[in-house]
Amino acid sequence: MPDNLGGGMVEPGCWFRVGSGGTHFAFARTVATNDGEDWLDQAHALRMQTRFGKAAAGVVIRRRLEHRGTRVSPPIDLIEPLHLVFGAPSEQWRHLYANGGTTERYYPASAFCTHEVTRLHGSLMIESHPEGRSSNLHLTLLISTTAHRGGETGLFCGLEWSGEWYWRWESLDGGRRCQLVGGVKVNGLRLEPGEVLELPPVHLGFFTGGLWAGTNALRRYLYEQVCPRYEGRPVVPRVSYNHWGGIYNDYDIDLMRREAQRAAALGVEIFVLDAAWFQGDFPDGVGNWDDADVNRRKFPEGLEPLADFVRHLGMGFGLWFEPERAVEGTTVLRQHPEWLVPVPSRGKSSFHLNLAQPEAQDYLIKMVGEWIERLGLAWIKWDYNIEPRPFWNRVDPSGKIQFAYMTGLYRVLDTLMGKYPQCVVEQCASGGRRLDIGTMKRAHTFWISDETHDPLNCRLMQARANRFLPGHLLNSAVMVARGRGDIGFDDAAVLGRMMGWLSFYGDIASWSDALTGRMAQWVRVFKAMRHLVVRDFYQLLPMPRALEDWHALQFVSPAKDEAVIFVFAGTTGGSQKVKLRQLDPEANYRLARQPGGAPRTIPGGQLMEEGLRIVLNPDEGALWHLGVVDE
């Protein structure tokens, strides 16, 4: 580890901890090079091998814990791949973290709610949910800042891990110093002689400035250093359709053809067939993945005719899977019961696939790969509607099973993405409940929440999640219930889903031609500005807490030559002044409301210092585009 980590913010040490029964094992450094270190605990015959990978504005720390003894290791209760001590007093730090991607049917929803903590005395802990999915309680990312050498300096951190975890800040020496630890939750884990654990890589970055500087440093790091590319290019959000919300199990090929025709008229780029294309529908048919399992009542000739029809309309075709789970009576359970572990469930018994087994990994690679090839899939939705904690407990309550499982899961996803680079991977876990750096490296976007009914909540969740994540990771949809028609759909409804990946859900075929035309106009606007949602992000007004509150946010290019601002009025409407961020004060900007508003030219300094006066009707939403005027 560089001695001057974080510009001297971090005190020297081994920067990790392993322990048992409240005691930290004593490791001594035996090897030190520019890109790595080895540490040895002679008393317990444990070796920690560390390698440092430098990235722009960050470092990736990879550790391997090896048992070098001749007998089984003592029980290990503490595995912390990161342990940093800081000389700055704990009350000088500010910390920012967020809730995970849950589903609440009230406003404002709790999903992705951000929390700022200052003047910390004692400890602050964020962690995975007790049932085991990584972001069911909190996002796995943390941003912290402090005054340092006359300015404000900060760090962001995250574990590349989809299992159980925690981050904890703690005061030391009565608050004069403090420490940050990041760990994996284990309980009496033992290593066999010669056994090696690959610990979750730690992603750590440093920046100067306050928490907003941290937000954009983290977003840039994730987008440029972590997130995969699509066909060799950085990902920008696309426009997609998914049938599930509003239609659910009740559909057939004739309905899907009508939805596909309407999706094409909107300008949709990818059409996704969600769950229930198989015998048994959802959830009872989960595990029926063979071609012979296709529901022939809905698709008499299989899925190929629909895939061909969608492509004929100029869209890519996508398909839903939930491959880590199976329900009693389904094909995969009948054929390979040795791969599946029973877990508690409602209704029919559910089983968790054990991806610690290489044979189960090979099966998923083959099964999903064959569907991609057979249907020419441009998209797979990888869902995970099951809590892993009962599975961990049944197989290995010490938690060691997580390491082999994550190795297996990542191998499956890495293999599929490497073999099929033309196929977009959308991750889902009953919404955004497994959204972490481990899955971010293996997905092009995420379904962020199963709350997709209320446009106010959808807007709020996308905006909050942008505080930590580049917008291309954030998929939310305009959801149309079966036969709903035009009722309740306006500009604000679609604008509230344009801060990430824009999707349409359900029975869009019930829309009138007039509403379809208006939504198609917004799709064209979105395609013209979507490259900006992966750039820097700012909240221009406080996050709404009540229906009366206005909401305003901005995306801006690093060169400061282009930006978009979203503004949403509260229930009372009226006038609001909004001050923009990070523009060039010396430049003139062409400002135009979208779509088709008359442009005007305003100096950047005026937009930042005096602000933009905006008048909107109650509950109205609006979008403005800004571009530098060439002299």
Task: Calculate what percentage of the chain has a pLDDT beyond 70.
Answer: 98
**428 confidence band (pLDDT: 50, 70, 90):** very high
The amino acid present at 89, given as its one-letter code, is P
Q: Are strands 202-208 and 239-242 parallel, antiparallel or unpaired?
A: unpaired
Mean pLDDT, residues 33-51: 95
Structure tokens at 291: 């071609």
Is residue 104 within 8 Å of residue 98, measured between CB atoms? no
Cα–Cα distance for residue pair 216/462, rounded to 1 Å: 16
Mean pLDDT, range 599-628, rounded to an integer: 97
Grade residue 6 by pLDDT with cuts at 50, 70 and 90: low
Average pLDDT over residues 254-270: 98
Question: How does the average pLDDT of the chain come out, rounded?
Answer: 96
The model's pLDDT over 155-180, given as tens digits with 9 standing for 90+, comes to: 999 999 999 999 999 999 999 999 99
> How would residue 82 be classed by pLDDT, with cut points 50, 70 and 90?
very high
How do residues 554-583 score in pLDDT, each as one tens digit?
999 999 999 999 999 999 999 999 999 999
Q: How confident is the model at residue 147 (pLDDT cuts 50, 70, 90)?
A: confident
Q: Whole-model pTM?
A: 0.97
35, with CB counted inside 10 A (0-12, 13-18, 19+), is exposed
Interatomic CA distance for residues 568 and 566, integer angstroms: 7
Q: Please tell me the distance from the alpha carbon of residue 395 to that of residue 70, in angstroms, as a whole number.
A: 25
Question: What's the rounded Cα separation, in Å, for the pair 342 and 353?
Answer: 9
What is the rounded distance in angstroms from the CA atom of residue 244 to the CA atom of residue 430?
Answer: 13
How confident is the model at residue 68, as a pLDDT? 97
59 phi/psi in degrees, rounded to 5: -140, 145
pLDDT at 630: 84
**Which pLDDT score, from 0 to 100, does residue 35 have?**
87
